Amino acid sequence: MRLPWLRSVEPLAPPTHEELIRLVALGDEAAFAELYDAVAPRVFGLVRRVVRDPAQSQEVTQEVFLDIWTQAARFDADRGKAMAWILVIAHRRAVDRVRASQASRDRDLRQASRSTRKVTTTSRTPWKPPWTPNASARPWTP
């Protein structure tokens, strides 16, 4: 016997990234977890290609998802796809990390060269002119 009030229900399509970001903007933690599961591999892959260090790549990926959580309300679906927005955030964060790392390395090298110069200058003997007179030599007379 068929009951008229029971209809076959079509399975719901999974939410799009745009819908998930809209829910994340409202503070939906389950939507954030679903978005994370959907995009984390691509985000980590992009960050890993830019940063190259696995540990720093994990840190940057974590920072990216923190940015997504805090800035989800800024996403505008009329301006582009959610995945593009997420990957732009990831790329910018990764480039910032590479630049900060390079700047730190450059600072360390400058500091090391300054301390090396100081050590080198203090260890030198005092300068003497090459024409130091010899006491046993006769003075020149015209």
The pLDDT, as a whole number, for residue 129 is 63
Query: Where do the structural domains in the chain lie, given as residue ranges?
Result: 17-109
Ordered mean pLDDT values, 10 residues apiece, the chain (142 residues)? 64 91 97 98 98 96 98 96 98 97 88 70 62 59 55
Continuous H helices in the chain: 17-25, 29-51, 54-71, 82-123
Where do we find the tokens 């890993």? 48
- Which class for 75: exposed (0-12), middle (13-18), buried (19 or more C-beta within 10 A)? buried
CA distance 123 to 116: 11
CATH class of 17-109: mainly alpha
